[in-house]
Structure 1
Amino acid sequence: MLLCRGIEYQSMRLPNLLGHETVQEVLEQASTWIPLVQKQCHPDTRKFLCSLFAPVCIDDLDEIIQPCHSLCEEVKESCAPVMSAFGFPWPDMLDCSRFPKDNDLCIPLASSDHILPVTREAPKVCDACKNRNEDDNDIVENLCKNDFALKIKVKEIAYINGDTKITPETKSKTIYKLNGLTERDLRKIVLWLKGGLQCTCDEMNDINVPYLVMGQKQAGELVITSLKRWQKGQRAFKRFSRSIRKLQSPASSSSRLCPELSGLPAPSYFGPSKP
């Protein structure tokens, strides 16, 4: 199980502390918490979650060892704000009042003796989210080799089969480029960050801000190849806007590099017309 990879025991107890009765159910539910661990909001996030999803099975011990109340509180204090930034409240199933005090048999914070030692690996950064120092020519080349370029606000994030599914707000999409996309694609755009559960994307640490996304249509899906937080006035986005204007000017030499953009009107807004 990816969430608990590196914990030093081989057997887990079912049903677990969240009521999951099968391994398949555990795998499906646990995968949605991997991004929180990758945010590194607390060093014991993985330890806390694994004590719930994959409690250790110990011979001659009938009861499940629960996380200590203090472990839950510490992780909640550090990670609840991160979840809130993505529109997720701290769930009732992780209510810290249900867990025993530290003087009982329970899984403590890392400062105490380790019952569940873990091995932490440096998280891999998603390729689409890596910071790159791009000049105007790089921006033009990147824009031309992709099928779409959109400025979006995020409505919803989900995780399916290891990929990150991003649903934009319909009324907040600005279209800079569309190549080979149908009207059906436009009506309900869904974007995919492939392998998003196995990598981190610090660019997306707040879904309340707009993003510039570029990508390609692959096997019917809109796959993100570049994702950047849109910061108005930032030098990189001034260069991007300048490059767009060059590409949309028929007289510009840059337009010959990306002919499908030549002569197009200014960036369009997808959704209800603006007053």
Structure 2
Amino acid sequence: MFNLHYLLMIVLLVSSPSRAADEDDDDGDEGLTVHPVSDSGAVRSVCKPVPNTMGLCSGIGYGEMRLPNLLGHDTAREAQQQSASWIPLLGKHCHRDTRRFLCSLFAPVCLPEVPVPVRPCRSLCEAVRDACLPVMSAFGFPWPEMFNCSRFPDGPELCVPGERDANRETTTGAPTGSVICEVCSPDSAGEREIQQNFCKSPFAFRLRVGSWSRDGSDVRVVPQGRSRVLRWQDHQLAAGEQSALWLPGGRDCSCPALDGPLTGSYIALAHMTSGRMLLTRLLRWAREEKELKKFIRGMLRRAC
């Protein structure tokens, strides 16, 4: 059975503010594909809906999970409660497949023709382990034995591959690429860039992201609700008159700010080109709300 005490320690490890786990995710996050099948004879299980309130895995790309899962949780409620402790690790952006790997354990995909949970491929486990272990080790935590990569298949057996595995089909997941989009510099680097470029940008917003979609080589980001306008230089447009923000070239690079559930607040800088409002910086706020308010007040006090 899963070690709750260990999970609570992990929360402390990755306790820099995380995304809220109690908001539904409707962004259509990437679906998973699997390698060709072979049944390993594991204990039979049943399919249950992935809870909308399961912040780690809601919107992962499939609607049903196998229970018991690969960590011994017998109910969706138990899996949801235990998985919540791992959500902050996603905010570290240590590997693009961290969420995929964790969900393959907490909420393994249910395939009607396969009566057992589909395990992650060993290569997926090893890639996430090698990228995230340094973050954990910095705080004195080892890679959990329950995530021991030797447990998982390394051959033709049915398994969940990593996003960039050669046999994986194209999906509709988050923007991906070999480099992070310049617009999407993460965490502290992004904060510095927004501070440095605030007065140079004709448009700046605090917003929530409702959804995003690909449009050719670009990514279209749709705000949720009314954005707070921080800077608006174009007097020919009514303030706040933006239905979408565009990430140019977003198809060919990765944007951590759009990876996983689209929760929390964002800061965006933009300019207008050919009738489109193009993002120049997009940052998902990773600290407390009061720190965000302080950050915004500091920018607004500038004599631009």
TM bin, normalised by shorter chain, reads: 0.3 to 0.5
Give the structure with higher Rg (CA).
Answer: 1
| Normalised TM-score (structure 1) | 0.44
Q: Give the structure with the larger helix fraction.
A: 1
